[in-house]
Amino acid sequence: MRYLLGLDAGNTVIKAVLFDLDGKQIAMHALDGQTAIPEPGFVERDLNELWRNAHQAILACIDKAGIDARDIAGVGCAGHGNGLYLLDKDREPLLGIQSLDSRAARLADELAAGENGDLLQKLCLQKPWPSQTPTLLAWVKREAPELYARAAAIILCKDYITYKLTGRLVSDVSDMSGCGLLRMPDCAYDRELLRLYGLEDAFTMLPDLLEPSDVVGHVTAEASDLTGLCEGTPVVAGFFDVVACALGSGVVANGQASVIVGTWSINQVVSAEPVATSDVFMVSGFGKGRYLNIESSATSAANLEWYVREFIERRGHHEDPFGYCNQLVAETEPAPDDPMYHPFLYGARLGSEMRAGFYGISGWHTEGHMLRALYEGVMFEHRRHIEVLTAAGLRFDDVILSGGGARSQVWPQIFADGLGKPVTIAASQETGALGAAIAAGCGAGVLTSYEAGVEKMTRAKKSFTPNGDLRKHYDRRYELFIELGADLRRFWSKLRDA
């Protein structure tokens, strides 16, 4: 037997997942990390803890699998995009900022304004935003110049794990394009691009740039002792996690759509050429003629996680709180006067001032109605993102759904009904790690291409067909969702500025 190890490094959790060459999950181990909030808007992590959790997760995963580590053909890592990870000249951690950080919000507005923002959009196909890597680096240069002077390497989350496994410091084109540091569609570093961020002197801090399936190096003796991996096991450059999730769910061909119902609302369509419009949030390239056009915001299943944490788990009255929520939604028939919910707990793509809220509640409404409104509100914001992609000229016939929300028994049907498109659920629950494993298989030579990996290692679990009888219902409620949001913009701004 041969195996592939995929790592998935999120903002807090690191997962090590072992797959066989047919995509069957053999074992998985996950560890939570600690997030530090030293002051409002600052969201940081300890890179030493990240590596400690990573090597412990790998060791535990191999132990659970009960396999000979010599049978692991390759290792790949996917990691959350953006944020900022800095190393000093000795390659020791200086700073770890997560992609939920908002300290650079005002600077992002400044960089995005006027001609400068237009030139940035033209070069990298995205405008500055608060958690974007170069915007955060520009903030460090302005606000913490002594720290900036000590920085010698700019990397992303997964790159530190790859470095600790192999001793080589690199990044890959999918992550670096996703964070706005590459000239597009070439997927290349560019001095003029850095100049527009005010970072002309940062060019030497950029790591070597590889394709995701390129072999970075091999597991070192030191890493072998810590992880249980065999010394010499090949390690590939890896993926921006949204790209890995697309591959791991079965999306690789032009015109396929991947929707991830996770902490962030991720909506992405594969194309041979990137769309070049400021309406689309970002474009990530992951190979010649391979681009993911991405519309996203932190407006998805994080809303249900908040509800469960604050109103269900706190009271401790259900052993399966998410199952309880699904059951209540399934038992609640949709009605025209159901409450509405805006899923803007952490702001929105259209404005950081936007807030969440339930609206139109009446005395006869129950917790089931509130939860159905939440499920629908999340779907509606996904739908708004998808309409931005289609307005940019991207076309697709169906959707492959992944992420935590795809595990629900009712949410996928709400997506099918509300989007008016067939929805397929990926069989793997660890699509990010599976996508990273596919890259590892290509680099190790046990898979011939991404397409071959997707065909061999991914499969569908279940499909949902839109209910035509609910089309008018959801179209009407979506219009109300958009209109209500527009009416509340003034209120949200006043609330923020109070």
Segment 332-344, tens digit of pLDDT: 999 999 999 999 9
DSSP H helices, 113-153, are: 114-124, 133-143, 145-150
Residue 264 pLDDT: 85
Could you tell me if residue 434 is inside a domain?
no
Q: Using the predicted structure, report yes or no on whether residue 459 has a pLDDT greater than 90.
A: yes
The 460-464 sheet, strands edge to edge:
282-285, 291-297, 265-271, 257-261, 399-402, 423-426, 460-464
Question: Distance between terminal CA atoms of the chain?
Answer: 62
Could you tell me if residue 56 is inside a domain?
yes
Q: Using the predicted structure, report yes or no on whether residue 397 has a pLDDT greater than 90.
A: no
Nearby residues of 363 by Cβ (< 8 Å), 6 or more positions away = none
Lowest mean pLDDT: which of 138-142, 147-151, 398-402? Answer: 398-402
Could you tell me if residue 287 is inside a domain?
no
Please give the C-alpha separations between residue 463 and each of 140, 396, 412, 415, 424, in angstroms, as whole numbers.
47, 16, 9, 11, 4
Q: Using the predicted structure, report yes or no on whether residue 2 has a pLDDT greater than 90.
A: yes
pLDDT in tens, 439-453: 999 999 999 999 999
Per-residue pLDDT, averaged over 432-443, amounts to: 98
Could you tell me if residue 367 is inside a domain?
no
* Total count of domains within the chain: 1
Could you tell me if residue 255 is inside a domain?
no
Residue 327 pLDDT: 96
Per-residue pLDDT, averaged over 208-234, amounts to: 98
Residue with tokens 């807030």: 355
Residue 203 pLDDT: 97
Contact 202, 194 (CB under 8 A): yes
Residue 359 pLDDT: 97
What band does 248 get if pLDDT is binned at 50, 70 and 90?
very high
Mean pLDDT, the chain, whole residue set: 95
What band does 137 get if pLDDT is binned at 50, 70 and 90?
very high
Q: Using the predicted structure, report yes or no on whether residue 314 has a pLDDT greater than 80.
A: no
Q: Name the pTM for this structure.
A: 0.92
Per-residue pLDDT, averaged over 108-134, amounts to: 95
Could you tell me if residue 121 is inside a domain?
yes
Give the range of the structural domain holding residue 155, as residue numbers without chain letter: 3-249
Please give the C-alpha separations between residue 488 and each of 426, 447, 493, 495, in angstroms, as whole numbers.
36, 51, 9, 10
Residue 189 pLDDT: 98
Residue 74, helix vs strand vs coil: strand
Q: Which residue has the higher pLDDT, 133 or 12?
A: 133
pLDDT in tens, 318-370: 789 999 999 999 999 999 999 999 999 988 888 878 999 999 999 999 999 99
Residue 40 pLDDT: 86
Q: Using the predicted structure, report yes or no on whether residue 316 has a pLDDT greater than 80.
A: no
Could you tell me if residue 369 is inside a domain?
no
Amino acid in the structure at residue 237: A
Per-residue pLDDT, averaged over 209-226, amounts to: 98
Residue 50 pLDDT: 97
Lowest mean pLDDT: which of 92-106, 141-155, 167-181, 188-202? Answer: 92-106
Residue 12 pLDDT: 84
**CATH at residue 20:** 3.30.420.40
Residue 350 pLDDT: 85
DSSP 183: B
Per-residue pLDDT, averaged over 184-211, amounts to: 97
Residue 263 pLDDT: 81
Could you tell me if residue 406 is inside a domain?
no
What band does 313 get if pLDDT is binned at 50, 70 and 90?
confident
Residue 51 pLDDT: 98
Pair of tokens at residue 25 = 């999950």
Residue 199 pLDDT: 98
Q: Using the predicted structure, report yes or no on whether residue 204 has a pLDDT greater than 80.
A: yes
Percent residues over pLDDT 70 in the chain: 99
Residue 127 pLDDT: 94
